[in-house]
Amino acid sequence: MTLLRKRFQSNFQEPISILDKGIPLKMYTGLNLSIENSNLDGLNLTEPEICQNYITSVLQTNNAEVAYGGYLENRSLYSDKVGFMGIGETQRTIHLGIDFWTKAGTTVLVPFTGIVHSFKNNNIRGDYGPTIILEHEIAGLRFHTLYGHLSIKSLQNLKTGQSFETEAVLGTIGSQEVNGNYAPHLHFQIIIDMNDWSGDYPGVCAKSDISHYSDNCPDPNLLLNL
Ligand SMILES: [Zn+2]
């Protein structure tokens, strides 16, 4: 894992924006949606409107357009969703990607050259909705990037194996109606080994599985340097 971290750090050093270039990085602000954030006490984040109101307040306070964060955060956001339930350590609450919370329709850009590994509309409530997974090989390092909660039209005319150059438009952020019933955001995750997954991969894991998943899904900010 340390070796992998070094490889990422030696190949990616500049900040990379994966949203509309019209939003400068100085308009991004950090967001903490973990259960440790006392500002969230009493807020039912599983209600998209309540979650959006909190995010809007953070954006306004910081004069920002994008709120981002969430890698390995322990969240209450999924507690109402059937696919995440379990008892104690087996309940899935640990978030494995970075989320970018901003307006539906915002353009999503490819951070570096890759090909389409797979794509799918995971249209169960609480899931990703439209999802694209790219495969990359850079300096002998093979890995994947997952883009979740996209718009339906992001999947139209897409083909497995299709190549995308750096900064090409991949799609747009989906609305609450299509994105699994969340406030609009992009879920971005690095996945080293896809195993047998296609068009989908867990974006939230149980506490008991952190070791496995954090090894296979390193911090996306090792690439993005935000
Ligand atoms: Zn997410």
Which residues have beta carbons under 5 A from ligand 1 (an ion)? 97, 99, 187
CB 152 within 8 A of CB 173: no
Provide mean pLDDT across the span 101-128.
96
Q: How many A from CA of 16 to the centre of ligand 1?
A: 18
**The token pair that represents 213 in the structure block:** 């998943």
The answer, yes or no, to whether residue 12 has pLDDT greater than 90, is no
Q: How many A from CA of 7 to the centre of ligand 1?
A: 25
Q: How many A from CA of 156 to the centre of ligand 1?
A: 22
Task: Tell me how far apart the alpha carbons of residues 218 and 21 are, in angstroms, rounded to a whole number.
Answer: 25
The answer, yes or no, to whether residue 2 has pLDDT greater than 90, is no
Task: Tell me how far apart the alpha carbons of residues 56 and 49 are, in angstroms, rounded to a whole number.
Answer: 10
Q: How many A from CA of 165 to the centre of ligand 1?
A: 24
CB 117 within 8 A of CB 160: yes
Question: For 155-200, how does the pLDDT look when each residue is reduced to its tens digit (9 = 90+)?
Answer: 999 999 999 999 999 999 999 999 999 999 999 999 999 999 999 9
Q: What percent of the chain shows pLDDT beyond 90?
A: 80
CA-closest candidate to residue 65, choices 118, 102, 30, 34: 102
Please name the CATH architecture into which domain 2-224 falls. Answer: Distorted Sandwich (2.70)
- What global pTM score does this model have? 0.95
Q: How many A from CA of 188 to the centre of ligand 1?
A: 7
Q: How many A from CA of 61 to the centre of ligand 1?
A: 22
The structural domains of the chain, with segments of one domain joined by +, span: 2-224
